[in-house]
C-alpha cells in the first residue's frame, strides 16, 4: 500500500467517524427525556394524600383511611394570597380537587365531623 493511499484511507475513516459522531449528537438532542413533575405524597391524621407539580394546575388526591367522617383542610397559595379549601370525606372515602395556578401550602386532618 502506497503512502498516498494510506493517507486517503485514514482521511476516509476520520470523515466517517466524524459524520457518525454528528449524527449521534443530533439523535441525542431529539431523544432527550422529558422533564418529570415531582409527586408529593404524605399522611395527615387519617388522610393519605398526593399531588404533583403541574404546569398550570395542581390536583390533590386524598383517601380517608379511617371509618368515620372527617374534615380535610387544604391551604394553597395564589402567589399574592393564601386560601383554604375544606372537604368533608366519609369513612374510607376518596376524592380529588383541582386548583388552577396554585401552589399547595399544607394539607391537614381537620378532625371528626
Residue pLDDT, tens place only, 47-65:
999 999 888 999 999 999 9
**Model pTM?**
0.67
CATH 3.40.50.2300 fits 39-112, yes or no: no
Q: Which residue has the higher pLDDT, 111 or 8?
A: 111
- Strands (E) in 1-113, as ranges, are 39-44, 47-52, 57-64, 70-77, 82-89, 94-100, 103-112
62-75 confidence digits (pLDDT tens)? 999 999 999 999 99
User: Rounded to the nearest 5 degrees, what angle is found at the Cα of 68, between the Cα atoms of 66 and 70?
Assistant: 85
Amino acid at each position: 500500500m502506497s503512502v498516498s493511499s494510506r493517507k486517503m484511507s485514514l482521511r476516509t475513516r476520520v470523515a466517517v467517524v466524524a459524520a457518525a459522531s454528528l449524527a449521534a449528537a443530533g439523535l441525542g438532542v431529539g431523544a432527550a427525556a422529558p422533564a418529570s413533575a415531582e409527586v408529593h405524597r404524605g399522611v395527615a391524621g387519617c388522610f393519605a394524600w398526593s399531588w404533583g407539580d403541574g404546569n398550570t394546575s395542581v390536583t390533590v388526591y386524598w383517601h380517608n383511611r379511617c371509618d368515620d367522617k372527617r374534615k380535610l383542610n387544604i391551604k394553597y397559595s395564589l402567589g399574592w394570597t393564601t386560601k383554604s379549601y375544606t372537604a368533608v370525606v366519609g369513612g374510607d372515602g376518596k376524592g380529588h380537587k383541582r386548583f388552577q395556578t396554585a401552589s399547595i401550602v399544607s394539607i391537614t386532618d381537620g378532625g371528626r365531623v
